[in-house]
Structure 1
Amino acid sequence: MHTTEKFYEVIAGAIAVKKELIEEDLAYQQIPEWDSMSHLLIVEALENSYQIKFEFDDVLDMGTVGKIREKMKKYDVVVEI
């Protein structure tokens, strides 16, 4: 099982914000730093950190941090809540 702290750090690092801004209900385009380009940076950072490869449909469905956590389960990556 992986930690929420690391999960949040990866996302925060990808979009260059403080980890404290990352929470489960943070949504795509809710903050200026999470736009379409940085969404792809989040995907890339998560793929590199957790050694997974997301399917295109999953990338499109990652509308919140919580949804990203859910999608990662599909790839056998469980992030503790």
Structure 2
Amino acid sequence: MHWHDKLRQVFRDALDLGADAEVDGLAYRAVPAWDSVGHMRLVAALESEFDVMLDTDEVIDLSCFDKACEILSRHLDG
């Protein structure tokens, strides 16, 4: 499984979305579950699943799925 697919599943699980929910265009506050508490739940899930530690700027910049891909690519591909 490519890490992008794993990332999609992390978004679905952390934000309590359906198993087939489309997350590629998802942005902060686009769904009720992605509020400030959901944001921290998502950050924790990303750090746990990908064994990374996001810094404060990355946590703040994590505003959509595409930004999550960009942030993770720096940790996983770089």
The TM-score, its normalising length taken from structure 1, stands at 0.83
Runs (4+) of structure 1 exceeding 4 A deviation are: none
Q: Report the Cα offset of residue 77 of structure 1.
A: 4.8
Match of 1:21 in 2: 21
Amino acid corresponding to residue 16 of structure 2 in structure 1:
A
* Identity level (%): 28
Structure 2 unaligned regions, length at least 5: none
The answer to which structure, 1 or 2, has the higher relative contact order (CA under 8 A, 6+ apart) is 1
The TM-score, its normalising length taken from structure 2, stands at 0.86
Structure 1 unaligned regions, length at least 5: none
Query: Which whole-Å deviations, capped at 9, do the CAs of 1:7-33 have from their partners, x for residues lacking one?
Result: 111111111111432422210001101
Alignment length, in residue pairs?
78
* RMSD value, Cα: 1.9
